[in-house]
Amino acid sequence: MDRPAGVYIHIPFCVRKCNYCDFLSWQAGEKEREEYVGDLVREIGLSDRWFPEIDQVNSVFIGGGTPSILSAGQLLRICEALDRRFSIQENCEFTMECNPGTANSHTFAACLNMGINRLSFGVQSSEEAELQLLGRIHSYTEAERSFQEAREAGFQNINIDLMSGIPGQTIESYRRTLDRILHLEPEHISAYSLIIEEGTPFYDRYREKPPVDEETDRQMYMATGVRLSEYGYERYEISNYAKAGFACKHNLKYWSGGEYIGFGLGASSRVGNIRYRNEEDPAAYTKRIFQKRRTADVEEILDREAQMSEFFFLGLRKTRGVNLTEFERIFGVSAFDIYGREIRKLVEYGLLKRQGSRLYLTDYGLDVSNLVFCEFV
Q: pLDDT tens digits for 271-302? A: 999 999 999 999 999 999 999 999 999 999 99
The pLDDT-based confidence of 255 (bands split at 50, 70, 90) is very high
pLDDT of 160 reads: 98
- The radius of gyration computed from the CA coordinates of the chain, to the nearest angstrom, equals 21
Quick one: which of 152, 100, 155, 104 has its CA closest to 126?
Answer: 100
Reduce the DSSP state of residue 91 to 3 states and report it: strand
Terminal C-alpha separation, the chain: 31
Q: Please report, rounded to a whole number, the percentage of residues in the chain having pLDDT higher than 70.
A: 99
pLDDT of 2 reads: 58
**232 vs 308: CA distance, rounded Å:** 34
**For residues 156-162, average pLDDT:** 98
* Bridge partners, residue 87, by sequence: 56
pLDDT of 1 reads: 45
Q: Which of 74-78, 201-205, 232-236, 346-350 has the lowest mean pLDDT?
A: 201-205
The pLDDT-based confidence of 91 (bands split at 50, 70, 90) is very high
3-state helix, strand, coil in the chain (%, to 5): 45, 25, 35
* DSSP secondary structure of 199-251: TSHHHHHHSSS-SS-HHHHHHHHHHHHHHHHHTT-EEEETTEEE-TT-S-HHH
Quick one: which of 170, 197, 178 has its CA closest to 125?
Answer: 178
How do beta strands 118-124 and 87-98 pair?
parallel
The pLDDT-based confidence of 232 (bands split at 50, 70, 90) is very high
Beta carbons of 306 and 89 less than 8 angstroms apart = no
Q: What is the mean pLDDT of the chain?
A: 95
Evaluate if residue 242 carries a pLDDT over 70: yes
> Per residue in 1-31, pLDDT tens?
457 999 999 999 999 999 899 898 989 999 9
**26 vs 10: CA distance, rounded Å:** 12
Which helix H or strand E contains 182, and what residues bound it?
helix 171-184
**For residues 197-220, average pLDDT:** 88
Q: Compare 3 and 256 and report the one with higher pLDDT.
A: 256
249 Cβ neighbours under 8 A, 6+ residues apart: 58, 59, 93
The pLDDT-based confidence of 37 (bands split at 50, 70, 90) is very high
**190 vs 186: CA distance, rounded Å:** 11
Give the relative orientation of helices 140-153 and 171-184 as an angle to the nearest 10 degrees: 20
pLDDT of 22 reads: 86
- For the CA atoms of 94, 192, 371, 361, the dihedral, rounded to the nearest 10 degrees, stands at -60
- pTM of the predicted protein model: 0.95
**For residues 317-322, average pLDDT:** 97
Residue type, 270: R
The length of the chain in residues reads 377
Evaluate if residue 145 carries a pLDDT over 70: yes
Quick one: which of 120, 121, 218 has its CA closest to 226?
Answer: 218
Domain positions in the chain are 5-255, 304-374
CATH of span 5-255? 3.20.20.70
**244 vs 157: CA distance, rounded Å:** 12
CATH of span 304-374? 1.10.10.10
Q: Please report, rounded to a whole number, the percentage of residues in the chain having pLDDT higher than 90.
A: 90
Evaluate if residue 310 carries a pLDDT over 80: yes
Which helix H or strand E contains 331, and what residues bound it?
helix 324-331
Evaluate if residue 314 carries a pLDDT over 80: yes
Evaluate if residue 178 carries a pLDDT over 70: yes
